[in-house]
Amino acid sequence: MKIESELAQIGSLKEPVTGAVSFPVYQATAFRHPKLGESTGFDYARTKSPTRAVLEEAAAKLESGDAGFACSSGMAALQTIFAYFSQGDHLIVSLDLYGGTYRLLERIMSRFGVTASYVDTNDIDAMTSLLTPNTRAILIETPTNPLMMITDLERVCSWAKSKGLLTIVDNTLLTPYLQRPLELGADIVIHSATKYLGGHNDVLAGLIVTKGEALSQEMAILHNSIGAVLGPQDCWLLMRGMKTLALRMERHQFNATKLAEFLMEHEAIEDVYYPALPHHPGHDTQNRQSSGNTGIFSFRLKDARYVEPILRHIKLIAFAESLGGVESLMTYPAVQTHADIPEDIRQAIGVDDRLLRFSVGIEHIDDLIEDLDQAIAAAKRELEG
């Protein structure tokens, strides 16, 4: 089946007793054994639960992986993956990185002797220069958050394999509907499923998908041992959200493209960072390795003084920290999502005090353009009199 059908049918054929089209929420932590030495396949909910099993199977299939693991948040999924590594191990990581990932690496994993070097993951020479005998993996965001930097996945995955490294790809912004990194050579895919997969700003979740039997078995041990698993009600909410992923992503990218084009022509805007724009670095790579674009982009104002009044005057668009939901949200990365990244690093990569990030929802495009236009105009009136 095409991916649209796979998404719409998640769980619909998995309940044989009643034939329920919406797979039930099994709100149980313990399961009876038929007799000594026998199991129904479910013993204790941290290890495996019926509702979570359906979600995990669907996630693995959508990403062309061998096993899926549903976690209590995107950060819990990252922590589960990082637990695969040992004291002294070294990781190569995307330079333009979500602040929470940076915080986990630098404040938590560093205590256990896991180190990271940050680099433009398209620069093979730079990555090669960072290799040490203890380098174990490369962690890639593509597109990155918030500057939408694109990594050539097939090229970098091939390089990583030649060096004996695992490749971990954060696919949150594109989802398996638009990009499948495992098909391009990656070993692990991670999602903050809170975002586009859930899609409604109402469920906190993370997903891991692995390729290969040995890696999948090891991740299962980590998932069970750490125990940051997703509860059954949240699994059901996530599956419900994923059923409409194809429809939502089409509207997200349509709206985002129109808004990015609108801002490109606005006198108050200096730069727009969105892979669908022909001038965007990596535009051709993005078109080659994915079937579309995300619904998030960033833009840089000419004057930092515009930031506060714009965020105060938007009405339909909410000033809030997150992305990927049906409602449009605007965020100020320098003081919100990327506040944990040192200022000198933020400034060097371009996450400065003039940058705003826009998670475009599925509202009518005319209403979104009107709201953004009036907010910028109101800011101009306040500042220029």
Which is catalytic among the residues 14, 46, 103, 251?
46
pLDDT at 183 over 80: yes
Q: How large a percentage of the chain has pLDDT more than 90?
A: 92
Of 15-19, 48-52, 84-88, 192-196, the range with the lowest mean pLDDT is 15-19
Residues 71 and 172 in one domain: yes
Which is catalytic among the residues 89, 96, 152, 170?
170
Which is catalytic among the residues 48, 52, 195, 346?
195
Region 75-101: mean pLDDT is 95
Residues 139 and 218 in one domain: yes
The answer to whether 268 and 301 have CB atoms below 8 angstroms apart is yes
Q: What is the pLDDT of residue 320?
A: 95
Q: What is the pLDDT of residues 287-311, one digit of tens each?
A: 999 999 999 999 999 999 999 999 9
Beta bridge partner(s), residue 357: 298, 331
Residues 30 and 47 in one domain: yes
What pLDDT band is residue 384 in, cutting at 50, 70 and 90? confident
Mean pLDDT across the chain, nearest whole number?
96
pLDDT at 344 over 90: no
Q: How large a percentage of the chain has pLDDT more than 70?
A: 99
Residues 12 and 125 in one domain: yes
* 46 has catalytic annotation: yes
Q: What is the CATH number of the domain that holds 238?
A: 3.40.640.10
Q: What is the pLDDT of residues 211-251, one digit of tens each?
A: 999 999 999 999 999 999 999 999 999 999 999 999 999 99
* 98 has catalytic annotation: yes
pLDDT at 176 over 90: yes
pLDDT at 339 over 80: no
Q: What is the CATH number of the domain that holds 378?
A: 3.90.1150.10
Residue 228 has what DSSP assignment? -
Integer angstrom CA distances of residue 55 from 59, 233, 258, 302: 6, 11, 33, 45
What is the crossing angle of helices 74-82 and 213-226, to 10°?
120
Residues 30 and 173 in one domain: yes
pLDDT at 190 over 90: yes
Residues 294 and 233 in one domain: no
Give every CB contact of residue 338 below 8 A, 6+ residues apart in sequence: 98, 99, 102, 146, 346, 351
What pLDDT band is residue 345 in, cutting at 50, 70 and 90? confident
What pLDDT band is residue 341 in, cutting at 50, 70 and 90? confident
Residues 208 and 338 in one domain: no
Residues 303 and 279 in one domain: yes
The answer to whether 372 and 314 have CB atoms below 8 angstroms apart is yes
Give every CB contact of residue 106 below 8 A, 6+ residues apart in sequence: 116, 340
Region 360-381: mean pLDDT is 98
Q: What is the pLDDT of residue 221?
A: 98
pLDDT at 14 over 80: yes
pLDDT at 369 over 90: yes
Give every CB contact of residue 68 below 8 A, 6+ residues apart in sequence: 55, 56, 57, 58, 59, 60, 207, 208, 209, 210
Number of domains in the chain: 2
What pLDDT band is residue 334 in, cutting at 50, 70 and 90? confident
What pLDDT band is residue 203 in, cutting at 50, 70 and 90? very high
Residues 233 and 268 in one domain: no
pLDDT at 150 over 80: yes
What pLDDT band is residue 364 in, cutting at 50, 70 and 90? very high
Residues 254 and 366 in one domain: yes
Q: Give the range of the structural domain holding residue 126, as residue numbers without chain letter.
A: 3-242
pTM of the predicted model, to two decimals? Answer: 0.96
Q: What is the pLDDT of residue 310?
A: 98
Which is catalytic among the residues 26, 84, 98, 177?
98
pLDDT at 346 over 90: no
Residues 41 and 56 in one domain: yes
What pLDDT band is residue 81 in, cutting at 50, 70 and 90? very high
From 216, 242, 268, the end of a domain falls on 242
Q: What is the pLDDT of residue 231?
A: 98
Residues 224 and 131 in one domain: yes
Q: How far apart are the first and last CA of the chain?
A: 59
From 211, 242, 273, the end of a domain falls on 242
- CA torsion 249-251-257-260 (nearest 10°) is -100
